[in-house]
A and B are shown apart, each in its own frame.
Chain A
Amino acid sequence: MSMLDTTDVTPDSTPPRRLLNLTVNGQRRTVECEDRQLLVTLVREELNLKGTHVGCLNGDCGACTLECDGKIVKSCLMLAASADGSEIVTVDGLGTPEELAPIQEAFWNEDGFQCGFCLPGHLFAARDLIATNPDPTDDEIRQAIAGNLCRCTGYQSIVNSIRVAAAQARAE
């Protein structure tokens, strides 16, 4: 990591910037960021990956969820600079429109979303759950998605989609 501007800062001065080396959805990327920049804004504005959403900026809604070094995180709770050297997978990297990831396929088939804003969090949390618990109870599903808010309040459909995705994963 290299500082591009090492001058002392005051709240009104030009914010320091730096270069980050990341692997994003399988591709090596070198990208410049401000020190104060959150990971979610880096992903959306510098990497132009708009699937990750800016929601509450408080860690409540989960719309900014992505995977960082194998762990799902809320990218509004991370400085971009803290991710230097990391391997990142965003919702854009889960599947393609032609070939959805299994969890996306289940949400699509079961009407698991309405506006889709909260999808990053629900998809990543569901995928994580099924990877570690192939036959979750509805209660376990609800606990796993507790860090995500759906303003369309479609929770029943979301729980159902995850139940179906788990069953399909077990059948394969």
Chain B
Amino acid sequence: MIRTGLAYHAPESTREACALLADHGDGAAVLGGGTMLLPAMGRGEKTHDHVVDLRHLGLDGVTVTDDLVEIGARTTYSTLLEHELDGVAGLFTLAAGGITGGPQVRNQGTVGGSASYANPASDMPGVLVATGARLVLEGPNGTREVPAADFYTGAFETVRRPDEFLSVIRLARRPAQVGYYKVKLSESSWPIATASAQVQVEDGRVVSGTVTLGGVCARPFTVDVTALLDESGNFRGADRELDELVDGQIEDPWHDELAPGRYRRQIAGVAARRALHHTTQGGER
């Protein structure tokens, strides 16, 4: 139960949504799937006098063209799973299949909501950075597009201004072998670390390989692992070198109620290794 009064708005147009957010500033919250915002308001951790529900703006759905994948911000994880996304975009499918909370939450949680909430331990921030996605923000002065790597400024912090909302996630279709792995304590637990691996192979020869780690630091980060792959793109098994590469990027590991920073630092390399293995052995959660 939300104990404070609020006015609910379901704008019919982008312009109307932007005007509402501009009028009410920090007092307004953008409602995505509701899975994080509403419990936080119920606990009194967040108070907003206005809630702006984007459900009438047609932002739910996935469009795939020859070059691009566009994911509406209100696309739920189950809708995402109805599409066979290939190449790098396949990372979205792998992550969506393992979202915590069961089928109900996969029917409710949205890609854009998770992207904007910016919980370091969520699946989406790491996947967005890994896929090189660009986030389209609508605001009173028009539209701007921000690369995912620049979108996140810290834990629960993004460059989105209070009078803006995320409308679309846009990424280039690129062929790649992908693998996803996350460390979590149990099926219903939040991830402690996520690893999104991708290997590009052209004409039978490896071109590049990266692993993006989420949940390890406040912001996702990417490690170039090309040198650790053989000619076909398989991980050569240089565990120690991979651990060092990953560890070298961790200055200030994230900590929350699930795990301290030192634990995350220790398992980051393991997550990266397993995600890399999945690029050739089929992606698993």
Chain A interface, number of residues (Cβ within 8 angstroms): 46
Q: A121-172: which have CB < 8 Å to B?
A: 121, 124-125, 128-129, 142-149
Chain B residue nearest to A145 in the complex (CB): B102
The one of A41, A74, A81, A144 that contacts B10, using a Cβ cutoff of 8 Å: A81
Is the Cβ of A62 less than 8 Å from the Cβ of B2? no
Is the Cβ of A36 less than 8 Å from the Cβ of B187? no
Is the Cβ of A57 less than 8 Å from the Cβ of B8? no
The one of A35, A62, A124 that contacts B7, using a Cβ cutoff of 8 Å: A35
| Interface-facing stretch out of B29-37, B61-69, B248-256, B262-270 | B29-37
Is the Cβ of B5 less than 8 Å from the Cβ of A16? yes
Indicate whether A1 sits within 8 Å of B10 (C-beta atoms), given known contacts A36-B4, A65-B104, A77-B33. Answer: yes
Complex interface: chain A residues within 8 A of B187 (CB): 142-143, 146
Is the Cβ of A71 less than 8 Å from the Cβ of B107? yes
Complex interface: chain B residues within 8 A of A115 (CB): none
Residues on B close to A: CB < 8 A?
Answer: 1-2, 4-8, 10, 31, 33-35, 38-39, 42, 47, 49, 51, 53, 55, 78, 100-105, 107-108, 187-188
Residues on A close to B: CB < 8 A?
Answer: 1, 8-16, 18, 35-38, 41, 57-60, 62, 65, 71-74, 76-79, 81-82, 84, 121, 124-125, 128-129, 142-149
- A-B pairs with lowest CB-CB distance, top 7: A147-B102, A15-B5, A35-B8, A11-B4, A9-B5, A71-B107, A36-B2
